Structure 1
Amino acid sequence: MNFKRQNKETVDVNLTPLIDVVFLLLIFFMVSTTFTKENHLSIDLPEASAEQQPVATNRLEIIITASGSYSINDKNLINNQLDTLKRGLVKAANGEKGLPVTITADANTPHQAVVRAMDAAGQTGFVNLSITTRKTNAE
């Protein structure tokens, strides 16, 4: 028996048109995309979902206004320097380092003012810090 081998034709897939289309799509998306420059970050203020904590009778409350001025237990400080804030905390605590410290800041307060209050409390030895939040309107 004499079998003849069949010649197989090689099938080639031409990828050139596919590559052309992909590059055209890439160029189209690059040209049509608009880039916006963000000048500020939008940050949502923290909101509490738990019940209000009972207020301790002996506590320190640091209130920070929108301009960055401080008051400790409703007594305004003369300036917003770190040393003044630390002296005010020590004076208001009367040597008690275990008092809870509550930091209440206006929504427009610079973050640096809140961080300065936290630094002052930490450097003077207070470890029980809390930051107040506003309750959500949905509840």
Structure 2
Amino acid sequence: MGVPRTLWTRLRRRIPAWIDAITYALVLGGLLTAGALLVALGAGGDLTTVKYLLFGAGWVLLAIATVRLWPSRGGDPEPSDDFDRSIGSPGRVQRLADDAPPARWVRQPTPHERLSSASKQFLAAIITLAISILLEVGIGA
């Protein structure tokens, strides 16, 4: 039997992973917002069009992340994300998230400690839907 981990040890391992995941979600939500804004303004729309595009993109991203997080068999205790772990280099969004604050100011979690990309996409979908709600309620678009 080993020595039980203290709360501080567990937090030191998990906080960088959560900072990485939240930064990834904010970067992806920002990219989706910028893309929706460019498409809406290019098509002659306004903020209402941006809101609708973000609403649709948020639900599509939520569906994709949910399918990726769904266990493949009934007996699996948690979804397997072996595909993400086997990739040698991170994707474009992950590289942007690694360079964005506050992720660049903290220790980068190892690939084993990171949340899966499907979990990060799920968080990004929630942020994208929250931006859509902000445009609906806060700005009145």
Query: Could you state the TM-score of these two structures normalised by the residue count of structure 1?
Result: 0.22
Structure (1/2) with the larger helix percentage: 2
Higher relative CO (CA 8 A, sep ≥ 6), structure 1 or 2? 2
Query: Could you state the TM-score of these two structures normalised by the residue count of structure 2?
Result: 0.22
Rg larger in structure: 1
Structure (1/2) with the larger strand percentage: 1
